[in-house]
């Protein structure tokens, strides 16, 4: 069976962009994906960073102009792997251009940004990379709760150890100048476990 080819453009060349590139390369080793993922273009702040990412991960082309990439007719998917404060403008532009939008978590740095993004993407396929929701421990805990195997859940306590948000020099600051919390990235994944069951 011939699979539909999806031409992916990734905006970003940092750590999370590497994780996404690796995922695109590895996914077919684990899952029967109904699409052929074509790493068409990677877009970074500098030509050097873009070229390094393309060379390392097999991206077909490079760019330093995300707006031009979003406007390209041959691009199906815009994968947003940039600092959090840049998610909204790229996602909104991509959705308005009719692209499939994949955005790294957290979705936005404020509720108004998130609402604007959701409204723009209402009529295009989209996702937020809440990948922790799929890890076996979380999926199994959710299964146990849904099956009623541990009784009615009133409270849970979860602990997730991660060093990626511990460097004060790398804290993301929004328009207010206040540091943005990192815990929200994981907290939404744990909320998967806390959805109320109907009685």
Containing H/E element for 9? strand 4-11
Of 52-66, 129-143, 154-168, which range is least confident? 154-168
Q: Does residue 96 carry a pLDDT above 90?
A: yes
Is 79 or 180 the better-scoring residue by pLDDT?
A: 79
Average pLDDT of the residues in 98-121: 93
pLDDT for the residue numbered 187: 47
CA–CA separation, 136 vs 73, rounded Å?
38
Band of pLDDT at residue 171, cut at 50, 70 and 90: low
Give the tens place of pLDDT for each residue, 147-164. Answer: 999 888 887 777 766 665
Residue 128 tokens, joined: 């937020």
Q: Given this model, what pLDDT does residue 163 score?
A: 60
CB 41 within 8 A of CB 57: no
Residue 196, pLDDT above cutoff 90: no
Residue 155 is predicted with a pLDDT of 78
pLDDT at 175 over 60: no
> Average pLDDT, stretch 76-104?
96
- State mean pLDDT over 75-94: 96
Which pLDDT band, with edges at 50, 70 and 90, does 182 fall under? Answer: very low
> Which long-range contacts (C-beta less than 8 Å, at least 24 apart) are formed by 158-161?
158/190, 158/193, 160/132, 160/186, 160/190
Of 15, 147, 23, 5, the closest CA to residue 76 belongs to 5
Summarised one tens digit per residue, pLDDT across range 116-127 is 999 999 999 999
> Strand 126-128 vs strand 100-103: parallel, antiparallel, or unpaired?
parallel
Lookup result for tokens 């295009």: 124
Q: Which residues contact 9 (CB under 8 A, 6 or more apart)?
A: 40, 41, 42, 43, 69, 70, 72, 75, 77, 78, 79
Contact by Cβ (8 Å): 8, 37: yes
Q: What integer best gives the mean pLDDT of the chain? A: 84
When computed from its CA atoms, the radius of gyration of the chain, rounded to whole angstroms, is 18
- What are the backbone angles phi and psi of residue 145, rounded to the nearest 5°? -65, -50
- Is the pLDDT confidence value at 169 over 70? no
Structure confidence at residue 31 (pLDDT): 87
Cα 138 from Cα 44, distance rounded (Å) = 33
């Amino acid at each position: 069976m011939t699979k539909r080819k999806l031409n992916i453009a990734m905006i970003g060349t940092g750590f999370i962009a590497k994780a996404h590139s690796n995922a695109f390369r590895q996914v077919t080793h684990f899952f029967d994906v109904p699409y052929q993922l074509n790493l068409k273009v990677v877009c970074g702040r500098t030509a050097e960073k873009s070229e390094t990412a393309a060379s390392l991960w097999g991206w077909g082309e490079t760019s330093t102009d995300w707006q031009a990439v979003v406007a390209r007719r041959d691009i199906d998917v815009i994968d947003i792997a940039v600092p959090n404060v840049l998610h909204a403008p790229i996602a909104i532009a991509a959705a308005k251009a009719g692209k499939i939008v994949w955005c790294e978590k957290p979705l936005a740095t404020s509720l108004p940004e998130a609402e604007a993004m959701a409204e723009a993407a209402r009529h295009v396929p989209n996702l937020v990379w809440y990948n922790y929701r799929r890890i076996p421990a979380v999926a199994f805990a959710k299964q146990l709760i849904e099956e009623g195997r541990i009784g009615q859940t009133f409270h849970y306590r979860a602990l997730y150890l991660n060093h990626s948000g511990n460097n004060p020099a790398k804290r993301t600051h929004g328009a207010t100048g206040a540091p943005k919390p990192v815990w929200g990235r994981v907290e939404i994944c744990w909320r998967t476990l806390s959805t109320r069951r109907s009685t």
